[in-house]
Amino acid sequence: MAINFFSDAEVQQILKGEEKYFVIQALSEEIAFLQSFLSQQERQIHDYCENFEKYVEEVEAEQFYWLGSGEPEMIMVPIRHVDGIMESDYDIKGVFTEILPIYQRQSMLITLWARFEVKLKDIVSYLHSERSTKPRKKAKNESVFAQNISELTHFGIDFSGKDLLSVIDSLDNIVRPIRNCWVHDGGIAETTKIKSLIEKSKNLSVTDGLVNVSSAYLYEVGSLMSLLASHIYHEIGIRRKC
């Protein structure tokens, strides 16, 4: 006969505690998985650009040829293309190896921010559910990210360290606006604020009028998020602040 050392209430408390740590740990795990995936994506982009020629197909097509006198002749000419996009119509190497990777990396930035914000909100929601309370309404001009940090501060998490404040400021006032530029303005670097952020960053640039998010910038963003996630886990999971 099994001996139950814990009462039903104590078992529920233990399970509740485990559930809480899963929610908190999920933030760090999400970032770790995305960082790994981003690294793989970057290798694929690099390999594709380095070996672009092997993706270019060449076919023969009929084309009229006229020397300036007499009747035009029908000749066969080689045509190079990538999935039907002709080199005769576009600079396919420039488009596929310089412009389209910009779109690929910006989508990575958007995904990274979206999952980070969702998991951060999950922690806030869970802490409120423990207390049967509700999050306050977001203030005018306050970002969702800033609201979540404010909520966690209210729960007792200490973000007062100089390095942490710098991380939070970078995420809210640099990374988020760059992400928003792509989400809301198609990546067009036209506002004074965005231009200023690009000028101050060695990992951001402008290509054909678009904010070019480098792989180094994505690594930088992931590192900032990872630092914040680790601090939140330490405050709740180790120091049991809330």
* Burial tier of 139 (Cβ tally within 10 Å: 0-12, 13-18, 19+): exposed
Strand partners, 207: 210
Name the β-bridge partners of 205: 212
Angle (nearest 5°) at CA 23 between 21 and 24:
65
In this structure, are strands 85-86 and 204-207 parallel, antiparallel, or unpaired? Answer: unpaired
Record the pTM. 0.83
For 125, how many CA atoms within 13 A lie in the half-sphere containing its CB?
7
CB 45 within 8 A of CB 101: yes
DSSP state of 236: I
Q: What is the pLDDT along the chain (242 residues), one digit of tens a residue?
A: 444 544 555 445 444 556 787 888 999 999 999 999 999 999 999 999 999 999 999 988 877 777 777 777 777 888 999 999 999 899 999 999 999 999 999 999 999 999 999 999 999 999 999 889 998 889 999 999 999 999 999 999 999 999 999 999 999 999 999 999 999 999 999 899 999 999 999 999 999 999 999 999 999 999 999 999 999 998 887 766 66
